[in-house]
Structure 1
């Protein structure tokens, strides 16, 4: 293996030298080029610089005008609206405290906005800023493999290029599904002030923003500066009908407490306090809960259907956030063939998540050692049962659960600081053949702090519930009353509810050197090339609160994570002209690219790419690409410590909590008592990194055409008409992820095989005690589909000028399989695990301009889907008892504006998104708020906004 590693590296170096050495010799005899040579551009998807853009691959470009038409204030929200985008985090995900830790072992990006292309996941999309990699996110809960687009202010954006094709040979790791390249504003003259205000029709979710941009240009220099501030208010789940109730049936962790235990006579009780009582009286000796006889004291037997807690109103449909950023870049042309640039950014994001009051679980399976082994003596001043309550697997506690509303909701506040500094030299040399070079260095860092209020210290809970003498001897300890409603005093809460502070950071240091130009003139044109070297170092760390590290945190446990790795890379790219102006067409070009990457964690990887571009005529273009790619395991995936996430899972070995009395489980499992009930739809799943992970490897293919009919150019009815059709296919092997938890549990129940059951342990009651679900190189993901777009510009008339842009993505296959070939639940037209893969998504934009007026109408369509029915009452929420159809939906957005001839222009635009206030379809399997938040607009979501833009 090492010999192959060295041989591949030597071949890559030889290839680079063979291309590079003749160039240096040619350049020594060449006169200096003209001043305009530094103005050539780099196309996203290619490293070859050319003055005229000719792309081998389809690149979707969002101009500044396109961005402003959306009425949105976040790059993430804008990119997530593209038809080729999949489900990804945004501010509609109320993450912390509900999702726990990501099953990818990289934490939860609370408050972040990510981008997913081709439904392959945000970590398989490479995000660039001016062609350089952007640092991965930090949100104080782990070391993520994805970029938070909320760390990049919208004010600095000139355009956004989106390449939905494999590009590892051009850009290296992560570019499996595609590339998002954010191009910053550069040649900007004068000043610009932009003010934004928006609000939902329900009178909430206000968004206010202010951007200031200023630039100046001289014959030899460019300076651009921007300041930006955006503030988004929350939208509460309680203020929307769809999110005000838990469709899955609520939680068994109730405000009055749930107390399941075995008394000294061997009777089994599963009790909860009668409504409203804060000092309940217990009568020993009454019949146990299996008798069916009603109790006559202040407790009754717990019934999930009637006692379950409605946690939904405490959640948020939109999480509040504030973003402030400053950006500047300076470019100076030293002479006609040499330039220098420097740029810097600082951005701060402050965001908040909120969850229902944190439950306290005691007894077996509580999640912490202190909670599992709790001991509540009979002489405790608040123990109403008159017997010792003993935890552990040999104790008499089956489960004790109490959700103290007195402590208020859990609040998670994030502060994320992003720093970015870059500098470089760029130049050109040569005569008839001009060569371009650039040397770049960049350093970037994300630092995140998260403050958690409303959570509990399980060690202090155990002390406050334990021996009163020990508590009295412990400074600050106050005996705790968990038996009844509203029993916790401020003194009790002060002892058990400290503030938890977590911190994470990621750092990226990178250096690149590139050379590009034409090697030799061939019969069909110049043979062009690009070659270069790239070095990157990644560093990341997650440091939870010391109380959490000591195992005292009552919520989701986690341990510190830290790691680093570096990579050296060489790449070569060629554009070979095969034919010009022949009987076979206008031109035929072949592109070849290869990159060798040497990682400190796993060794070397070589990725090639091949492309063909055939210009049949001025009207017709065909193009195709084949690429091999890879994604290196991230710091969190390699070194991530054991943590936990809470998943909605149906245990096939247990009776559902809403099933009629006397029901039996769908599957009889060893060690599970007959008739044992699943008491809660949420099951805690342990996850974590794996240092033995290998890189993911992918093969991508695309083929398409562009047709611009001549009869539609310059005609009375059409100024220009373009049709674009592209077929894509991605095959990913060794995908880094854990097997879907529901799938693993089903297979364990069906086969009882150690392959699936290892890591799943159960309590004597039959309920799951521990569920280990760690990362592996899992099977494969295969997806393919079509993009079909139409762009039509009509001639300008006395009624103005109209434009139509209609873009469509059709997913024809999405198949994910586990390491043993087991089919995962994700698929086309399916919603699962808070993500959706629609078969058809479509965006149509109708634009109009006349004199100083402008307007647009946007239609967004999402096809119907289905999901597994997890509703507590399928008759109300589901199409069938087992499945639920999620209807297709079409959104309409409109904007109108006017440009006043004042100073350099004052532009006022007013718009509305989701004009007809379409509610999202109900999702019974989604974790929160009753709908799929990364695909649909919020409920009652008519959003009005106004934008004022003054240039001076």
Structure 2
């Protein structure tokens, strides 16, 4: 098979060379090209270096001025505000300890900032730096398939080019939804110091940054050096009203049943005042039994031992634990980076370059003290927790009986205890990125034609360590709660008191059960490329241009969890090691064919053709073509259209990722809700699944196991765009308009075989509705009916389809005594989105719906008005997100915060943010620019999201609650 793949690749390379080299040789006598060497540029979306190719595809460019107007200090935060961006991870996600592992099998990039285009997922966006691929993220929780933009310092960025179109034929895998190409600063004279300071109106979330830049040029060389430091302080959930409780407007109903006082659900055998005789299964043929669902009063502590039943009360909503008091709205992040590039002109036709980067990110996530769940209803999948026996001989056991999870005499259902004595869970990440690239580039004259070529090599590595404080060793907990004789024979063991309330777990007890957990991960990318571009020959309408090249890439990655986790002793989210590698060889060719010039068809008509053959060591070969038309009807009207096929190769984590767990918010249709709402599932089907009547869902967080699949095939895609750019002469050069441009683009993307796990809630609902093994296999239940196992594996799902429109207006007004104004209005309208599973299951994510902490608004809009007068400047920006709808979480339906309880839905009202900025430039040295601004001027809170996992809002779509952010900037050139 490998021999066959190599032969196929060789043939493809030969084909691309045959298409270009002989024609090059025959073009020696051809007339010179119209464009001079100075006119030739390369833009994202084409490999051909010609000035008139620039507008062939819809590329959005963010200049340095655009970037500085945002007041933001992260590339990820900036691109996430584009109208075409979808939901992606950022520092507003308090990831570790709450979400577990991504259901995509690639870990959670805690502290990272990603980019999603067209709502197709961050792993389907290719990130380039100066046209070369950037290494995928490592955040010590897996082998990710996305790029962490927080590994690229903002100080080195000259501009950001965003191609919102399929581009696999030009750039290879991952470019299904588009390409983000970050262009670094190169030709820079002198020095620059930029100081930033900002904080939220509540006096928290302080952000400080320092950027240094220096460059020089000689006749034969140029050098640029840059350094960046960013320090972002946290914002705590407890400091905002909206995020102070698990679900806004529901009090403690959404709180945890693992409390500092403990929750104890078991069958004591003998009834008492707090554990009366109860018909637990609603079966009149069986006698009632004594049943306990008890706790001790909130805040009570019994250091000398708790007395049963006198010290206990029935467990109610009022006894639940508010874990939001420990969570973060904005996670702290400290980033420091150094970057340099040097370019030397060896001759008039050849230059060499070298560039290097080192970057360190230190970030922190924090969650509430880690809960300890024990018994069959714990659902952790860990036998030390689910199959535990708590000995009656344990000196702190007040019940006088063994509490047994399974087998003869089983009487334990669930114990939940929150050891606040051990402190909050703190996850500290240290992420180091190194990049080195070098190459040669130049021109080659053959006859009267000139060809531009380059050869490049780059190595990049992203490595991360995560240290977890505040978690527990479940094996040691099992021993410390068991037979005291076994504990006494175990070095370091002290019998554990989980019954006495807060403060009764002593330092000696903690020393035995609370370790420090350390995880590591790493990704490496090695790439070598060679490209050549120029004009081949002239035809009736002008020169046929081409670009062709070869590329080799090698990927390596691993994830190594702590030995405690590998052994199965970790009380938190379990995972196993992952490692893998693969390589790819590719050849591509691109042509631009002029079909007409200055005739009845208009100014020009050009056809573009491109194709790439990729040979992967993991699955074989893949060919992806692309076709485009660019029709310049007149100076003021351009029409364009593209059709492309694309693919995305499964990542290392998706292929080789070991079993890991995500704790997801799920409503079990077979169980009574947390607020005692009746189950919605078919009673007969629920009984067939082993759920006794009257069973209650004690915990809405269900542990779902996921993992890689080495049999995954590549995702394939088809993309189509069509649109126009209209610059009417009537609105150019007038007293009220220097220039006005209208740009409209229709897009459609269709992905087949998308790598994903079926939505867990959808799988659970379909299992209850149909009893089909396709959905029910992998979902297991305990003797009391609750889910204690949920296996949700990666597969090639059926399809994802999305379509919509971009509509933009750019208006520059003439300069007057009032200054110069510039108006920009950009809009994205999503008209369709559908994801279908391999067996036809329609996934819940669609247009206008909030689901799984992400949203697809049907309209997003950004408008900005810039003003300049002398040394003064100002900007006013408006960001709009249209209305969304979500399913109310089961227990929230009867609360007023659920806006439509009859249908069980909640409306997230349309949200508009206003940002303002003012500045003045002093004529000191080469210029001192002082800027002040406010983001979210009117302190608009995000709409309440009841289905979101944390903080009551969608952190990937909206600003944080209480989000008025003030900032100042000083920028000195010298």
Q: TM-score, normalised by structure 2?
A: 0.94
Deviations 1:206-249 (A, max 9, x none): 00000000000111111000010000000000000000011161
Matched, 1:458 2:463: no
What residue is the counterpart of 1:475 in the other structure?
Answer: 491
1:658 partnered with 2:675: yes
Q: Does 1:516 align with 2:533?
A: yes
Question: In the aligned structure 2, how far is the partner of 1:220 from the partner of 1:698?
Answer: 45
Whether contact under 8 Å (1:569, 1:597) holds in the other structure is yes
In the TM superposition, residue 504 of structure 1 has moved relative to its aligned partner by 0.3
Identify which of 256, 259, 265 aligns with 1:260: 265
Give 5+ residue unaligned stretches, structure 1.
285-295
CA distance in 1: counterparts of 2:899 and 2:647, whole angstroms: 41
2:860 is the alignment partner of 1:855:
no
Deviation of the 1:375 alpha carbon = 2.3
Match in the other structure for 1:889: 911
Query: Cα 1:31–1:859, aligned 2, differ >3 Å: closer, same or farther?
Result: closer
- Post-superposition offset of 1:494: 1.5
**Which stretches in structure 2 are left out of the alignment for 5+ residues?**
248-252, 271-288
Deviations 1:750-801 (A, max 9, x none): 0001110010000010000100001000111000000000000000001110
Counterpart contact for 2:2–2:617, Cα < 8 Å: no
Alpha-carbon shift at residue 260 of structure 1 (Å): 1.5
Displacement, 1:38?
7.6
Q: In 2, are the aligned partners of 1:76 and 1:90 still within 8 Å (CA)?
A: yes
Q: Summarize the Cα distance change of 1:64–1:176 in structure 2 as closer, same or farther, 3 Å threshold.
A: same
Per the alignment, residue 864 of structure 1 pairs with 883
Q: Give the Cα–Cα distance (whole angstroms) in 2 for the partners of residues 466 and 21 of structure 1.
A: 78
Distance (whole Å) between structure 2 residues aligned to residue 432 and residue 494 of structure 1: 79
| 1:9 positional shift | 4.0
1:818, distance to aligned residue in structure 2 (A): 0.7
Alpha carbons of structure 1 residues 429 and 152: separation in structure 2 relative to 1, 3 Å: same
2:897 pairs with 1:877: yes
Q: Distance in 2 between matches of 1:194 and 1:860?
A: 26
Residue 562 of structure 1 corresponds to 579
| Larger displacement relative to structure 2 (253-262 or 92-101) | 253-262
2:432 and 2:463 in contact (8 A); partners too:
yes
Distance 2:217 2:28 in 1: 32
Q: Partner of 1:13: helix, strand, or coil?
A: helix
C-alpha distance after superposition, 1:144-184 (max 9, x if no partner): 00000000000000000000000000000000000000000
> Could you give the per-residue CA deviations for residues 258-286 of structure 1, whole angstroms, max 9, x where no partner exists?
112223456332221223332287777xx
How far the C-alpha of 1:372 sits from its partner, in A, is 2.1
- Paired with 1:738 and 1:244, the residues of 2 have a C-alpha distance of 32
Alignment of 1:949 onto 2:968: no
Q: In structure 2, what is the equivalent of residue 273 of structure 1?
A: 296
Q: 1:876 Cα shift?
A: 2.2
Deviations 1:472-492 (A, max 9, x none): 222211111000312101111
**1:690 maps to which residue?**
709
Residues 514-913 of structure 1 aligned to structure 2 (within 5 Å): 514-659=531-676, 667-668=683-684, 669=686, 670=688, 671-870=690-889, 872-874=891-893, 875-881=895-901, 882-913=904-935
In structure 2, do the counterparts of structure 1 residues 393 and 733 end up closer, same or farther at CA, with 3 Å as the change threshold? farther
Matched, 1:350 2:350: no
* Kept in 2: contact 1:197–1:209 (CA 8 A): yes
Aligned partner of residue 877 in structure 1, secondary structure: coil
Whole-Å separation in 2 of the counterparts to 1:793 and 1:200: 33
Query: Are the counterparts in 1 of residues 27 and 537 from structure 2 also a CA contact under 8 Å?
Result: no
What is the CA–CA distance in structure 1 between the aligned matches of 2:382 and 2:38, rounded to whole Å?
62
Corresponding residue number in structure 2 for 1:109: 109
Superposed CA offset, 1:291-331 (max 9, x none): xxxxx61112222x222211111100000010000000001
Q: Structure 2 vs 1, CA of residues 461 and 3 (structure 1 numbering), >3 Å: closer, same or farther?
A: closer
User: Cα distance 1:366–1:129, how it changes in 2: closer, same or farther (>3 A)?
Assistant: closer
Classify the secondary structure of the residue corresponding to 1:241. Answer: coil
The alignment covers a number of residue pairs equal to 939
2:896 match: secondary structure:
helix
In structure 2, relative to structure 1, the CA distance for the partners of 1:607 and 1:33 (3 Å cut) is closer
Query: What secondary structure is seen at the aligned counterpart in 2 of 1:594?
Result: strand
> Could you tell me whether the CA contact under 8 Å between 2:93 and 2:329 is conserved in 1?
yes
Which residue is 1:290 aligned to?
A: none
Q: Distance in 1 between matches of 2:2 and 2:235?
A: 56
CA distance in structure 2 between the partners assigned to 1:951 and 1:53 by the alignment = 34
Distance 1:582 1:664, change over 3 A: closer
Q: Which of 293, 310, 316 does residue 297 from structure 1 map onto?
A: 310
* SS of corresponding position for 2:107: coil
Deviations along 1:320-369, whole A, 9 cap, x unmatched?
01000000000111001111000000000000000011001112234322
Aligned to 1:441: 457
Distance 1:415-1:708 versus aligned 2 partners, 3 A rule: same
Q: Of the candidates 377, 382, 389, which is equivalent to residue 396 of structure 2? A: 382
Does the residue aligned with 1:676 lie in a helix, a strand or coil?
Answer: coil
Task: Check conservation: 2:33, 2:543, Cα contact below 8 A.
Answer: no
CA contact (8 A) 1:246 1:930 kept: yes
**In 2, Cα distance between the equivalents of 1:150 and 1:771?**
34
Correspondence for 2:279: none
Three-state SS of the structure 2 residue aligned to 1:20 is helix
Looking at structure 1, the residues matched to 150 and 569 of structure 2 have their Cα atoms a distance apart, in angstroms, of 33
**2:658/2:708 contact within 8 Å kept:** yes
Match of 2:420 in 1: 405
- Paired residues of 1:720 and 1:792 also in contact (CA < 8 A): yes
Query: 1:109 is paired with a residue of what secondary structure?
Result: coil
Per-residue deviation, 1:432 = 2.5
Structure 2 Cα separation of the partners of residues 335 and 870 of structure 1: 68
Kindly state the Cα deviation for residue 31 of structure 1 after the two structures are TM-superposed.
14
Give the distance between the partners of 2:315 and 2:770, measured in 1 at CA: 33
TM-score (norm 1): 0.96
Correspondence for 1:362 among 360, 371, 374: 374
Deviation at 1:741, TM superposition (A): 0.2
